Amino acid sequence: DIQMTQSPSSLSASVGDRVTITCQASQDISNYLNWYQQRPGKAPNLLIYDASNLEAGVPSRFSGGGSGTDFTFTITGLQPEDIATYYCQQYDNLPLTFGGGTKVEI
């Protein structure tokens, strides 16, 4: 199985801050990576696919990058509604695997 390691596991930031989350795969997954946002008590919501492609309707303050084993997810200008847990997920190989999540607080 491909292990996905996210860091940090939690962070606290202020409105307007730039926030960066990293996700490391245990082996090369090319750009086969998705990022999801999960607000408290809600289902996950797709934000980024193919490591850097913004999902339709998602604000442009969200971005993703990286390839191979190292990936980043950035919120440029944190907003109160961005309070959530963020997960990376690889689809290079089955079983599909998710990172442990990063909880973003203000």
Q: Which residues bind other proteins (CB under 8 A)?
A: 1, 32, 34, 36, 38, 43-46, 49-50, 53, 55, 87, 89, 91, 94-101
Tokens 């993703």 map to which residue? Answer: 64
Q: If we measure between CA atoms, which residue out of 88, 6, 86 comes closest to residue 50?
A: 88
Would you say 17 or 91 has its CB closer to other proteins?
91
Q: Angle at the Cα of 46 (from 12 to 25), degrees rounded to 5?
A: 70
Would you say 77 or 90 has its CB closer to other proteins?
90
- Min dist CB 14 to other proteins, Å, is 25
- Min dist CB 19 to other proteins, Å, is 19
- Min dist CB 93 to other proteins, Å, is 11
Residues 21, 82: contact at Cβ < 8 Å?
A: no
Residues 66, 32: contact at Cβ < 8 Å?
A: no
